[in-house]
Structure 1
Amino acid sequence: MIKKHRHFIIYKPYGFLSQFVNNQTKRKKKLLGELYNFPDKTMAIGRLDVKSEGLLLLTTDGKVSDFITTRGNVEKEYYVQVNGEIIPSKIEELKKGVEIGFDGKKYTTKPCKASIIKTPNLPKRAQKIRDERHGPTSWISITLTEGKFRQVRKMTSAVGHPTLRLIRVRVGAIKLEKLNVGEVKEIETLV
């Protein structure tokens, strides 16, 4: 009998690690297993750092995970609130690729899609970001097919607009819409 793999989508809240086991003994971190009773061998496909929110895919199928993260050129779209009023020339820099640090070396990101967007209708974050007295902010959309460690944060900093809030809203054809923060939904397939 062939074992059927299971697939999930989740709206990862701010403050949660994208994993099921905490390898740190000093600090207690919130883990995905606190949100749902996932089956054994469930793994996150890619990661969102503890300060990032949004769409996270999970599966019991390592082949699907490998395809999405490394071989499939699958698009990942992020809504990013950045410090300051970003101008079109900075968006063009992001689109062409910017130099960031990765694994102790300089790395130029692949060309991507980027645009300035209106403030999206998203749930308030659990931890306040800041208030207006600290100056203006902008919202942008960035769509990548790669995913280096903290890449989006490093990219926005490279053009002079550090990330204040980061939400993944899409992976391939799967969108975040209609999920509440912390909600988990089992789906038939991821690709």
Structure 2
Amino acid sequence: MDEAELKFILRYRLPGGSTVVDRFVAGRKDLAAADREMLLGWRDPVEGVFEIEREEREEGDALVLLNLPDDLKYRTYSNRGRAAFRGVSRGGFLHTCLVSVRPADEAWPVSGAMSYYPRSNASEIARAAIELATGRPELVFRNPEKIEQGWQRMREDRAAFVEFFGGDELVLPPAELE
């Protein structure tokens, strides 16, 4: 399945607002509650550029990945087992999409294409992660700490503005703006 197909199945909103996954689950009354929850959790995939922190063979051949845009760690698996991660190494990077295995959110299978970049590409990867985060800020906002950090910085900026200008409003002719 290519990236476009994956986005269509997981996130594209059909007329009426539902996704393909929503319609599939609604049409399968025989699904157990846990299976329904897991499938519906796929509507919120995690896209990102991930640094490979470590392997966890005792955990079923998982990789622990740090997502650069949201600064969260994900224990990642593949339905192909360890073979899917052959050739990747600690300190390298993966550009991929993960889906949750709910309700626990402790297992994140790779979904769709996966591209690997060695540690030597770190500066290029950092630029790609910044572009991804600035182009799609919703990816950053998965992390509640980042949301609070953003609010804190806005409070600090507002306080500095008020201190400098004596109020939270500034009126001046456009020619004096600079």
- Structure holding more helix per residue: 2
TM over 0.5: no
Sort the TM-score into its range (normalised by shorter chain).
under 0.3
Higher relative contact order (Cα pairs below 8 Å, separated by 6+ residues)? 1
Whichever of the two has the greater Rg, that structure is: 2
- Structure holding more strand per residue: 1
